[in-house]
Amino acid sequence: MKKDKLHKDQGLRMALQHRNEAAEQLTPSADFTDKLMARIQASEAAPQPKRRRLWLYASIGAVAASIVLLLSVGIHLTHQQSEEPALLAQTDTIKAAPKARTVKELPLQKAKTNEVPDTMKMMKEKYRMPRPPKHYMAKAEVVESKPDPEPFDAELAAKAILEKEQQAVMQMMAGSNVNRSLQADFESITKEIRSRGERMTQQVEMALSNED
């Protein structure tokens, strides 16, 4: 860079000097600072446009943020409700019962109450507990061949069956929208299944004790 050249240019300097002569004579008027201070006070008294604009942007931002928040909460709740039947199927019946009551209050689900008797019939037919199948007995025999046959295995087997049946029922319930009457029926079926399971457990235990 030719810095030295820039520092010469005497003619140019003289031209600028001559040109700025008038400007160099200028001095501020006597009331210059008074006027300035008055303007400063006036600007402080009146709300500044920049600040006003800032407030406007801040309020727009706040409204937008609250809308986004509401939408996200709404979406989250909708997801939760749609997942509830599946959750009901995964949890045990006693805990699931109150949740099912909240679901049934939805207007969409109320509209589907006509389907309930059919569904119940189908469920009762499908999940009527059969007699203890032979393979359970066979299982007991296998267990018996072991050195220490425990009645605990039989209980486990009964529980497993019970759980599977409960899950199947819950899935069915989840698939069809549950309402209040359906819930009551569901509870009675569950009780029945439980009692059958207990009976089956007793039978298994009896069979084991007989063979002993």
Partner 1 sequence: MEKETVTSAQTSQDETHLIRRILDGQTALYRQLAGRYAVQVLRMVARLIPSPEEAEEVTQDALLEAYQSLARYDAQKASFQTWLLRIAYHTALKHYRQHSKHIATVDVEQQWLDAIPDAEADALLDDTTVHRVALMEKAIDQLKPDDQMLLNLFYFDNRSVRDIACITDHDEAYLYSRLQWIRKKLAIIIKTLESNEER
Instruction: Please report, as ranges, the residues that interact with partner 1 according to CB under 8 A.
Output: 1-3, 5-6, 8-20, 22-24, 26-29, 32-33, 35-37, 39-41, 43-44, 48
**Amino acid occupying residue 159:** K
User: 6 or 94: whose CB is closer to partner 1?
Assistant: 6
**CB nearer partner 1, residue 39 or residue 180:** 39
Q: How near is the Cβ of 56 to partner 1 at its closest, in Å?
A: 19
Who contacts 92 (Cβ-Cβ below 8 Å, separation ≥6)?
166
Least distance CB 63 / partner 1 (angstroms): 28
CA 84 to CA 102: how far, in whole Å? 10
Nearer to partner 1, 18 or 134 (CB): 18
Please answer whether residues 84 and 99 qualify as being in contact, where contact means their C-beta atoms are separated by less than 8 angstroms. yes
Which candidate, 136, 184, 174, places its Cα nearest to that of 156? 136
Burial tier of 158 (Cβ tally within 10 Å: 0-12, 13-18, 19+): buried
Nearest to partner 1 of 23, 94 (CB atom): 23
Query: Shortest distance, CB of residue 27 to partner 1, whole angstroms?
Result: 6
